[in-house]
A and B are shown apart, each in its own frame.
Chain A
Amino acid sequence: MTAASKENNCKTGETQWDLWEVFTQPKTGAPHEHAGSLHAPDREMALQNARDVYSRRGEAVSIWVVPAREISATLPDDSGPFFEPGNDKVYRHPQFYSVPRGIKL
């Protein structure tokens, strides 16, 4: 992972550090959920900043930080065809099947 990608693009000297996406787990047993993002020069500071920015009131028992550019995502444009294969398979749902009356399954 590269550290601080410096893009000193303005007179005020504000550097644009890497963008990190933050995922927090509210309690054990729960999934990690996207909380937001932040800038940090390295992963240690990303974690510390994530704690300060997204968990000031015990909102998390565990935090993941991921460099935003390492995330692959679907695009709204291809979401139709991309998710298509799942849409016409009604037999993947329990309502597709009939069960004799009075039987509890």
Chain B
Amino acid sequence: MTELTLEESSEKRELFEKQIQAGEKIEPKDWMPERFRKQLIRMISQHAHSEIVGMLPEGNWITRAPNFRRKKTLLAKVQDEAGHGLYLYCATETLGIDRSELVEQLLTGKAKYSSIFNYPTLSWADIGVIGWLVDGAAIVNQTSLAKTSYGPYSRAMVRICKEENFHKKQGYEIVTGLAKGTPEQRDMVQDSVNRWWWPSLMMFGPSDKDSPNSKELLAWGVKRRSNDELRQRFVNLTVPQAKAAGVTLPDPELRYNEETQDWEFGPINWEEFWQVVSGNGPCNRERMKARQDAHSSGAWVREAAEAYAEKQQRKRAAA
């Protein structure tokens, strides 16, 4: 790309700001500030990595699903998450970075992914609770991001949102089933809710006052709602669902505020959040190793596909 004079670039910036103000989408070939590009690459690729790493905790239960219906469902869900990762890598690539570089950032630990996936899936109930709470939280976030100002990200989000509903529903079905089950099943699902509730709230990221990127991203319309707003929306949606399912959310401070019509909740343990983000969660190392192993043991498949493509091409040339 050619260097712009100062005047040109201020003209371009003005046009960019105008597009954002008017709620128009920014498309890959439009001029955009370098910082906008960088922040988008960081945000969308983190999102892509989360979809990919997110397959691991659930993949853990595919071979042990309690029946064939649940097994098929879980396989389909995990496959969807792989698809989500791919849509998002493609969206990131439109910003001028190669997927190979993004994959490298993930495998070398340079890139971050959602900290929720660094918690272990200890029981079958976790599969239900993940679908209900983790996918539920993701849906709240992604529904808001479907209106993001960057065209390819927005389109990927719309596609993803359509698929997520089934993820949440199948999870909630497992939860309500177990909650109506034997005392052991009820204990198992309550234990699972106890472990996943707070990490699910942390999925929305740090509180607005401690989120350095949020202000800028909101101003650019990349984010449409702040972390705290989305978190509140999620709590408001989830409390009645927990009641209906017959499980208890592990927060003694949870209470309804008639005035704001919000479910107020107790303080989040941000110390734990930062520990997990910085690599000290229960499964950080295990997840990274699983990704690295999957990548290297899949190398022969990629090589075979390439060899086959080359052979076909030679045949075509000879014909």
Contact = CB atoms under 8 A, between A and B. Distances in A.
A51 B312 CA distance: 21
A19 B97 CA distance: 12
Interface of B: 27, 29-31, 76, 79-80, 83, 86-87, 90, 93, 98-101, 103-104, 107-108, 155-156, 159, 163, 295-296, 299, 302, 305-306, 308-310, 312-313
Contacts of B305: 4, 41, 45
Given A38-B90, A45-B309, A75-B29, A14 B83 contact: no
B161 to A, nearest CB: 14
Contacts of A73: 29
A20 to B, nearest CB: 10
Contact of B309 (A3, A10, A19, A57): A3
A76 interface: yes
A12 B90 contact: no
Range class of the A interface residue count: 20 to 34
A61 interface: no
| Dominant secondary structure at the B interface | helix
Contact of B306 (A1, A41, A44, A53): A41
12 contacts: A3-B312, A12-B107, A13-B295, A15-B100, A37-B90, A38-B90, A42-B312, A45-B309, A53-B87, A56-B80, A56-B163, A75-B29
A87 interface: no
Nearest to B316: A1
Given A7-B100, A9-B98, A36 B156 contact: yes
A74 to B, nearest CB: 9
A98 interface: no
